Amino acid sequence: MEFDVVGTETESISAKKCTEFVEVLYSKAAVPGGGGAAALVGAIGTALAGMVCNLTTGKKKYAEYEEDIQRILKEAQVLQDRLLAMIDEDAKNFLPLSKAYGLPKETEEEKAYKAKTLEECTKVACSIPLEIVEVCYKAVLLQEELVGKGSALAISDVACGVQCLRAGMISGWVNVLINIKTIKDQDYVADVNNRIKPMLTKGVEICDRVYAEVEKQLS
- Over the stretch 146-200, which tens digit does the pLDDT of each residue have? 999 999 999 999 999 999 999 999 999 999 999 999 999 999 999 999 999 999 9
Structure-model confidence comparison of residues 15 and 26, the more confident one: 26
Hey, how many other C-beta atoms are within 10 angstroms of the C-beta on 124? 14
pLDDT tens column, 34-50? 999 999 999 999 999 99
- Is the peptide bond prior to 32 cis by the omega test (within 30 degrees of 0)? yes
CA–CA separation, 94 and 66 (whole Å): 42
pLDDT above 60: residue 5: no
Count how many residues are written for the chain.
219
Nearest partner of 134 among 78, 173, 177, judged by Cα: 173
* Interacting residues of 151 by C-beta distance below 8 A, sequence separation 6+: 52, 55, 56, 59, 61, 62
What residue type is 116 in one-letter code? K
Does residue 11 carry a pLDDT above 90?
no
Do residues 206 and 138 make contact, with C-beta atoms less than 8 angstroms apart? no
In tens, the pLDDT along 68-93 reads 999 999 999 999 999 999 999 999 99
- Report CA torsion sign: 93, 97, 100, 102: negative
> Beta strands of 6-143 (E only): which ranges?
none
Question: What are the distances in angstroms from CA 3 to CA 27, 53, 95, 102, 210?
Answer: 12, 42, 9, 9, 39
Q: Which amino acid is at 133?
A: V
In this prediction, residue 14 carries a pLDDT of 64
Q: Alpha-carbon distance 14 to 31, whole Å?
A: 11
Main-chain dihedrals φ then ψ at residue 169, nearest 5 degrees? -65, -50
Read off the pLDDT band of 2 (50, 70, 90): very low
CA 12 to chain centre: 17
Task: Give residues with Cβ within 8 angstroms of 130, minimum separation 6.
Answer: 172, 176, 192, 196
Within 10 angstroms of residue 197's Cβ, the number of other Cβ atoms is 12
Residues 6+ apart with CB under 8 A from 64: none
The amino acid that residue 151 corresponds to is S
- Cα–Cα dist 119/40, whole Å: 27
